Structure 1
Amino acid sequence: MDLDTWRHLLWTQALGDQYHMLAEDIYPTWLQLRYHYLALSPEILNLLSKLHKNYLLGLITNGPSRAQWEKVERLNLYSCFDIILVSGDLPWEKPNRQIFHKACGYLEVEPRQCLMVGDKLETDILGGIQADLGGTVWIPLSADILPHTECNPDYVLDHVTELPALLPHNPKITEFKFRYNKEKSKFNVSLDYDDCNSNSSDGS
């Protein structure tokens, strides 16, 4: 079934026998609100535009293929990234190292030339570590304290807009300058912009 039919069915089941008829009105309202709140702010769009002038950008997202590509299209992300990978199209999802290496292959760069930026320790950061990427940057969704875990990021930022300041000034990041991609005239950064739901959910 198509994506709209599937979601309508989920709403019908969730509402139960007494209220299932409301799905006809609730689903389009939910969809409208979903993309209202998922929309990228002007400062994020400006950040992506500035980064894209100097870096190769990749988006890796977990979730069902049709649902995730709907997000990409509605949020007009094609112009922001050099490669977009959806786990629903592949045999792996984050944190499996293979999906990160697949992105590196498309970008024609080595894993050690890439920086993983994400908000989920258990998928983004752990995956970046297991894939042996050049570095990982965690941006918590709230004022979370870094727990005791094997998913220890190299850097923690309060907000993704702080990323440009980290790249040129931090001593560890300077190693990326020696891996400059002369052919493409850009450095390479892997960014993750999943929304705040579970690894492979289409729900929130």
Structure 2
Amino acid sequence: MQLYQVDSDTSTKITSTYLKQFRKCPDNSAYDLDTWRTTLWSKALGDKYSYLSKKIYERWLYLRYHYLGLTIETKNMLIELRKKYLIGLISNGPSKAQWEKINQLNLSNYFDVILVSGDLPWEKPEPKIFYEACRLIGSLPHNCIMVGDKLETDILGGIEAGLAGTVWLPISDKTRLTPDDPKPGYTIKRITDLMTFLKRRPDGPELEDSCSNASDGS
């Protein structure tokens, strides 16, 4: 926001306020996405800077998808995987916000089935949303695996749905399991390690058997 002569401390406070409200309510059925987010920015900016809300929102949206995009390595991996496997994507969140993300990233080019919890009566970790994905793919749960970064939704849901396996990709600060965490079958350090997991026995480099030491995931 320094482009608009807003000092660093104030910018940090404004951004924190916006993100807190955005994560609490990423969309509002009474508004289109652009109007709702601009409104959130206006509130976060306060009376002094609210006139910047449209410009700040447009810049935020550009940066959001600039940094959120799939890497070329991930795209190539998904293309290769689809030559042999059917791939589904299950996303928790409000319908409009999630589909914007899906469309902006062109994810339909890389997945055979995409489910958004906002369109359905369930969300992860509810097993029924996994069963629905399996049904649409045309496969039984015991022939499918779940790959995800969230233990409490992706991994727990895959376990409770009785899938053939669960693979955890920790991308947050949490990289070790606690005794109370759902226990993934395997842990990978990079999403592209999934090719190793599927092509070979799971003893390749940097692929960790999470069950060998449930206390720390290694």
**TM-score grouping bracket, smaller chain normalisation:** 0.7 to 0.9
Aligned residue number for residue 34 of structure 2: 4
Aligned counterparts, 1:79-98, within 5 A: 79-98=109-128
- Structure 2 counterpart of 1:25: 55
RMSD of aligned alpha carbons: 1.5
Cα displacement string for residues 129-159 of structure 1 (whole angstroms, at most 9, x for unaligned residues):
1111110000100461122224100000111
How far residue 170 of structure 1 moved from its aligned partner, in angstroms, is 2.1
- The alignment partner of 2:73 has SS state of helix
1:148 aligns with 2:148: no
> Hey, what does 1:160 align to over in structure 2?
191
Report the Cα distance in structure 2 between the residues aligned to 1:87 and 1:107, rounded to whole angstroms: 17
Match of 2:71 in 1: 41
Please, which moves more after superposition, 16-25 or 159-168?
A: 16-25
Which portions of structure 1, spanning 4 or more consecutive aligned residues, are displaced by more than 3 angstroms? Answer: none
Asked if 1:119 is matched to 2:149, the reply is yes
After TM superposition, give the deviation of residue 64 of structure 1 in Å: 1.1
Bigger Cα displacement from structure 2, 17-26 vs 163-172: 163-172
* Aligned-partner residue type, residue 125 of structure 1: I
Counterpart for residue 202 of structure 1: none
Q: How does 1:159-198 map to 2 (within 5 A)?
A: 159-170=190-201
Shift of 1:160: 1.0
* Higher alpha-carbon deviation: 135-144 or 45-54: 135-144
When the two structures are superposed, what TM-score results if normalisation uses the length of structure 1? 0.81
**Structure 1 segments unaligned to the other structure (5+ residues):** 173-204
TM-score using structure 2 length: 0.76
The structural deviation recorded for 1:164 is 1.1
Q: Does 1:57 align with 2:95?
A: no
Structure 2: 5+ residue stretches without partners:
1-30, 204-218
Report the structure number with the largest CA radius of gyration: 2
> What is the aligned partner in structure 2 of residue 178 from structure 1?
none
- How many residues of Structure 1 are paired with residues of Structure 2 in the alignment? 172
Q: CA deviation at 1:48?
A: 0.5
**Distance in structure 1 (CA, Å) of the matches to 2:186 and 2:128:** 23
Contact 2:151–2:181 (8 Å) recurs in 1: no
CA 1:171 to 1:30, structure 2 compared with 1: closer, same or farther past 3 Å?
closer
The whole-number CA distance in structure 1 between the counterparts of 2:113 and 2:59 is 31
The aligned runs of 1:93-108 (5 Å cut-off) are 93-108=123-138
Structure 1 counterpart of 2:162: 132
| 1:12, distance to aligned residue in structure 2 (A) | 1.2
For the residues of structure 2 that align with 1:14 and 1:130, how far apart are their CA atoms?
A: 40
For residues 46 and 178 of structure 2, what CA distance do their matches in structure 1 show?
39
CA contact (8 A) 2:79 2:110 kept: yes
